[in-house]
Chains A and B, each alone.
Chain A
Amino acid sequence: MTCCKSSLSQMPAGQQAVIGRIEVPETLAERLTALGILEGTTVKCLGAGPLGDPVAYEVRRTVIALRRADCMGIEVC
């Protein structure tokens, strides 16, 4: 599998990817870890809300919505 790095916030709907480096403020990183989102986790982008933001992601059989601005610093492969 070729690895082309991009941001979680740029993922197209329906695509699945693996989380790479996470560079966000520590409190958010901690939150994300508690939700099971950390380096190596597979996420699926389910698409944005009616107003284009936030975006819903499927992680470990749960659905978590995040604002694009918050997940800018999260890399996916």
Chain B
Amino acid sequence: MAERIFAGKIALAGNPNVGKSTVFNALTHLHQHTGNWTGKTITCANGIVRWNGKTFCLVDLPGTYALHSHVAEEDAAREFLQSNTADCIIIVVDATCLERNLIFTLQILSMTQRAVLCLNLMDEARKKSISIDVPALEKRLGIPVVPCTAATGKGLDHLMETVETLVENNSIKTTDQKNVTEFPPLSSFVHAAEQIAVETVTVDARIPDRDRKIDAILTSRRYGIPIMLALIALVFFLTITGANVPSEWLSYLLFACAQPLNDLITWLGAPEWLRAMLIDGGWNVLASVVSVMLPPMAIFFPLFTCLEDIGYLPRIAFNLDHVFCKARTCGKQVLTLCMGLGCNAAGVVGCRIIDSERDRMIAILTNTMVPCNGRFPAIISLITLFIVGTTQSSAKTFLLAAISLTCVVIVGVFMTLVASWLLSKTILKGMPSAFFLELPPYRRPQVGKIIVRSLRDRTMFVLLRAVCVAAPAGLLIWCIGNIQVGSDTLLTIFAGALDPFARYIGLDGMILLAFILGFPANEIVIPLVLMGYLSSGTLVEINQLSDLAVLLAQNGWTSVTAVCFILFSLFHWPCSTTCLTIRKETGSTKWMLIGMILPTLFGVTLCFIVHSISVLL
């Protein structure tokens, strides 16, 4: 994009978790993911703001605590500010803890005065009876100060007016930028900030702090961990319960479309093999992936985002840090594991919040050991069928399934700890670096926005994956299921070749083949297994869990097979997207391969143990 079409370039800077992304989204009408924890924005995002007939380019810098530190993303922020390309910097600060935010503000102001202070979260400050003398603050800082509440959009018009004036007055770039090498010591900024805060902020100390009361329960010795597990189980319970009926409807609807599509293709004069390939292969896998994936994702994500917005995720990290410390790694790994529950590729990128190179590497390599959303539906079905042992949809079934799923996640987290410990004892030797974690204030989640955003974004995500990955994979498996070599199809030959090994780890050749073919996306593993079992190599309509139970039992599945499947699903090579992300984040193919081999070794070993025990018993 040519620079000159913009009336100006604006940068958003500030401490982590002060609502920069919320300001960014509100100004650009973009939908960057926001969350209530430090380090949510880890890459610079660019957007366009239209204001008063003009177009501005807006850059959202990652949140930083200081400008001369040793962390990669803080370098990015400093380099951007030093490069002198911004016409105006909006410094976003949290009005509820202005003093700490001023430390960073003053550092920016020592480099440039072309800035506006956006005093965000004014509503929260008011609730906490914190009042700020805005004119006095403007006078002390020498830049305009605009109070606002980005979540509701209040004050943002005034912010843009101020920015516009500033950009116009600065159309000829001044050289007021100073080099960072002549930075005074960091402590001088702290003292200056303290002084300004004393002069401008008044707090009514009589109001008790609500957050401390909540923390006293949520992070207490007695209730901290039980509440955490209960909350996770509740999220799973709501997901499983809520997804059940819509999944059936979607399945019914999409499979009902197969007949008219068949007729259409025949009417167009296509040969029978092409029709079979497109409908029996591509369409059916697509339909089963969409119907199985979409409802749980559309429910899990908003629920999880609510927990995130409230500010609960850092509390999980706080509660669990000690075990991660024992495994010689960083407690912030918990945050990346939580992101991994949604999508492992996102979790791997999220590892950037970890400062130390060694700790970050460990977090990246072990992230896939928590099940992502792509693996949940298969795990849930198998748990319901083989562990809860029923096909009835009742609240009790769902509750048992949710508890079992929580246990599966606990197994995943436990193995993550084991793997982290092993890595830190072998190829990534060293002690964990110093750990600090900010526990943000609790905030009311923007429920409406979350639901709308999650539904739209997740629906698009699932549909895109289904079209780009599931349908082609369906076509491929239809082909190898129908190409005859001698008396057998390619599918039976491949599955047969894998079978002897697969039997050792409690699976069978078809399952292992499905995992291999499921490399592009884990969500297609179960549809591929089913397609493989049905001799014709096409997926018949499986609307109900009971149909699935019958088919799996016919192919020799027992509860041991189900347990091994779940374990192997937890611990095997990451999907292709995650692998590429690992390579990008670590900058080496070697680490990507280790990231693939490590979980696979765990999976094979665990499945072998489970299978051997079951044989001995």
Interface pair B100/A36, CB less than 8 Å apart: yes
Q: Is the CB of B434 within 8 A of A25?
A: yes
Complex interface: chain B residues within 8 A of A31 (CB) = 65-66, 69, 434, 436
Distance of A24 Cα from B100 Cα, bound (Å): 21
Chain B positions within 8 Å of A64 at CB level: 436-439
In this assembly, does A18 line the interface, its C-beta being within 8 Å of a C-beta of chain B?
no
Contact B434 A54 (CB under 8 A): no
Say whether B321 contacts A36, CB under 8 Å: no
Nearest chain B CB to A65 CB, angstrom units: 4
A54 to B, closest residue via Cβ: B321
Count, chain A residues at interface, CB 8 A: 35
Interchain CB contact under 8 A, B318 and A35: no
Q: Identify B434's interface contact among A36, A47, A62, A70, CB under 8 A.
A: A70
B368 within 8 Å of A (CB atoms): no
Size bracket, chain B contacts: 35 or more
Least Cβ–Cβ distance between B423 and chain A, in angstroms: 20
- Chain A proximity of B89: nearest CB distance (Å): 18
| Proximity bits, B561-598, A CB within 8 Å = 1, else 0 | 00000000000000000000000000000000000000
A41, A52, A53, A56: the one within 8 Å of B439 (CB): A56
Complex Cα distance, B438 from A52, in Å, reads 17
Contact status A35-B65, CB under 8 Å: yes
If A49-B224, A52-B322 touch, does A65 touch B97 (CB 8 Å cutoff)?
no
Number of A-B contacts (CB under 8 A): 120
Asked if A38 is an interface residue, CB under 8 A from chain B, the answer is yes
Q: Which one of A38, A52, A63 contacts B190 once the chains associate, using CB atoms below 8 Å?
A: A38
**A34 and B65 contact, Cβ closer than 8 Å, known pairs A54-B318, A60-B97, A62-B100:** yes
Q: Which residue of A lies closest to B209 (CB)?
A: A58
Q: Does A61 lie within 8 Å of B219, measured CB to CB?
A: no
A27 within 8 A of B: yes
Inter-chain CA distance A35–B69, complex, in Å, is 12
Binary interface profile of A, 22-38, with partner B (CB < 8 Å = 1, else 0)? 00110110111111101
Contact with A along B420-441 (1 / 0, CB 8 A): 0000000000000111111110
A18 to B220, CA, bound (A): 25
Task: Give the docked Cα–Cα distance between A32 and B190 (Å).
Answer: 11
B503 CB, nearest partner CB in chain A, Å: 42
Quote the shortest CB–CB distance from B54 to chain A (angstroms): 36
A51, closest chain B residue (CB): B322
Residue positions of B touching A, CB distance < 8 A: 65-66, 69-70, 96-100, 103-104, 186-187, 190, 193-194, 197, 203, 211-212, 215-216, 219-222, 224-225, 318-323, 325, 331, 433-440
- Given A28-B434, A49-B319, is A60 in contact with B69 using a C-beta cutoff of 8 Å? no
- Are B97's CB and A54's CB within 8 A? no
Expressed in whole angstroms, the minimum distance between the Cβ of A24 and any Cβ of chain B is 7
Beta-carbon contact of A53 and B321 below 8 Å = yes
**Residues B212 and A46 in contact, CB atoms below 8 Å apart:** yes
CA of A36 to CA of B105, assembled, Å: 13
12 sample A-B contacts, Cβ–Cβ < 8 Å, listed by A number? A33-B186, A33-B190, A34-B66, A35-B65, A38-B187, A47-B216, A50-B225, A52-B221, A56-B439, A60-B100, A63-B215, A64-B439
A5 CB–B CB distance under 8 Å: no
Taking A49-B224, A50-B221 as known contacts, 5 extra A-B pairs with beta carbons closer than 8 A to each other, sorted by chain A number, are: A34-B104, A38-B190, A41-B190, A60-B194, A61-B96
Q: How far is the CA of A46 from the CA of B98 in the complex (A)?
A: 20
Residues of B within 8 A of A17 (CB): none
State in angstroms the CA–CA spacing of A34 and B70 once bound together.
12
User: B321 and A65: CB pair below 8 A?
Assistant: yes
Check if A67 sits within 8 Å of B100, measured CB to CB.
no
Name the residue of chain B whose CB is nearest to the CB of A24.
B434
Asked if A77 CB lies within 8 Å of chain B CBs, one says no
Q: CB of A11 within 8 A of chain B?
A: no
Q: How far is the CA of A59 from the CA of B186 in the complex (A)?
A: 17
